[in-house]
């Protein structure tokens, strides 16, 4: 029962940091709602999207994590004072009810000598899922922070050292820390699940492990969310670099729209694909950009007009439904 009370109080502290992080992410999403950035699949440039949509994905995922943890914390907030094997042989159930009410806990409907450990496992596992999401956000920042991308970066304070050996370095060390924290809590979640199968009405196989994993999981999650809030408050956004990366190789990321236009015109997708792909592969080699190559390809220009080709490279086409998505997520 005392442990349940501690877990409940820890959940309140964690929830406050989640509320703060959600607020920061929402502001970023709205601010960069229509800011173009390249979408990447398999780590490779795919098609234009918006930075705001990236943040909207974070927002909904963290919101789910918050609700999941809230549910788990509520389920763990129960007390039991039911005797050696849970049958109230030497105590009146009304005492249990009175004590739990005073502590702000619900009564466990039926217990043994202990509250069943599926509740604790759900608590730790929900924290593991939550912090895995936070790690994912941190990894996204780390990737976008890379020198050759440089689109979204951790803030770097005046006088801060990125590397003791290389003065030019600005390493995303706080985001890296989030990965280490998430890995620890995921490990603890395995131990929490192994604590569920106790013998009969109780053994203490779970006890020594719980003394480590429960406080550590809560402390680590709280600290990780503090770091994440700090990162969100100091992000450096580089919209110019985002546009430069979209237009790299002369706009190869617009290939699908060109493919669709050609397919509709000739009715043969495989043939259209080959025409587009050969120009994209040439663009990768450098020198002449993709759009310029397309306009020099007589097979394509014999099918599409110059205006139709230009239309294939218009950015706004990719953002026409962003407002609808934001309305789903934020109601505006």
Please choose, from the candidates 231, 234, 233, the residue with its C-alpha nearest in 3D space to the C-alpha of residue 223: 231
**228 three-class SS:** helix
Active-site position among 4, 20, 23, 42 = 42
In sequence order, what are the beta bridge partners of 152?
237
Residue 163 annotated in active site = yes
> How far is the CA of 138 from the CAs of 61, 84, 135, 234, 241, in angstroms?
14, 47, 5, 13, 20
Pairing of strands 78-79, 106-107: parallel
Cβ atoms within 10 A of the Cβ of 144, count? 25
Active-site position among 4, 163, 179, 217 = 163
Q: Any idea which residue has 């280490």 for tokens?
A: 180
Could you tell me the two tokens for 122? 């759900």
CB within 8 Å of 11: residues ≥ 6 apart = 69, 70, 73, 77, 123, 218
CB within 8 Å of 254: residues ≥ 6 apart = 47, 48, 290, 291, 312, 313
Could you tell me the two tokens for 87? 């049958």
Please choose, from the candidates 15, 114, 110, 17, the residue with its C-alpha nearest in 3D space to the C-alpha of residue 68: 15
Could you tell me the two tokens for 268? 């043969």
> How far is the CA of 49 from the CAs of 32, 52, 240, 252, 254, in angstroms?
11, 9, 15, 14, 12
Residue 305 annotated in active site = no
Q: Which residues are catalytic?
A: 42, 163
């Amino acid at each position: 029962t005392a442990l349940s009370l501690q877990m409940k109080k820890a959940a309140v502290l964690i929830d406050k940091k989640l509320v703060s992080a959600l607020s920061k992410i929402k502001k970023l999403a709205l601010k960069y709602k229509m800011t173009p950035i390249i979408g990447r699949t398999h780590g490779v440039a795919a098609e234009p999207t918006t930075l705001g949509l990236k943040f909207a994905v974070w927002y909904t995922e963290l919101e789910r994590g918050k609700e999941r943890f809230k549910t788990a914390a509520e389920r763990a907030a129960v007390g039991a004072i039911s005797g050696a094997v849970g049958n109230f042989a030497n105590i009146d159930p009304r005492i249990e009810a009175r004590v739990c009410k005073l502590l702000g806990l619900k009564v466990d409907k039926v217990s043994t000598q202990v509250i069943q450990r599926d509740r604790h496992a759900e608590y730790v596992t929900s924290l593991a899922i939550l912090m895995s999401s936070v790690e994912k956000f941190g990894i996204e920042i780390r990737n976008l922070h890379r020198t050759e991308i440089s689109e979204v970066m951790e803030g770097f304070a005046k006088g801060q050292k990125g590397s003791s050996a290389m003065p030019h370095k600005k390493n995303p060390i706080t985001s890296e820390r989030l990965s280490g924290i998430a890995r620890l809590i995921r490990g603890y979640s395995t131990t929490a699940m192994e604590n569920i199968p106790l013998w009969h009405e109780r053994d203490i196989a779970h006890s020594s492990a719980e003394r480590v994993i429960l406080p550590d999981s809560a402390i680590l999650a709280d600290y990780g969310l503090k770091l994440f809030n700090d990162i969100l408050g100091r992000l450096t956004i580089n919209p110019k670099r985002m546009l430069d990366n979209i237009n790299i190789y002369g706009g190869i990321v617009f290939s699908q729209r060109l493919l669709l236009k050609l397919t509709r015109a000739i009715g043969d997708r495989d043939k259209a694909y080959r025409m587009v792909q050969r120009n994209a592969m040439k663009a990768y080699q450098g020198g002449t950009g993709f759009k310029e190559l397309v306009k020099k390809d007589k097979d394509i220009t014999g099918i599409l007009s110059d205006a139709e080709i230009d239309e294939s490279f218009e950015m706004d086409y990719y953002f026409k439904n962003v407002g609808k998505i934001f309305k789903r997520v934020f109601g505006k």
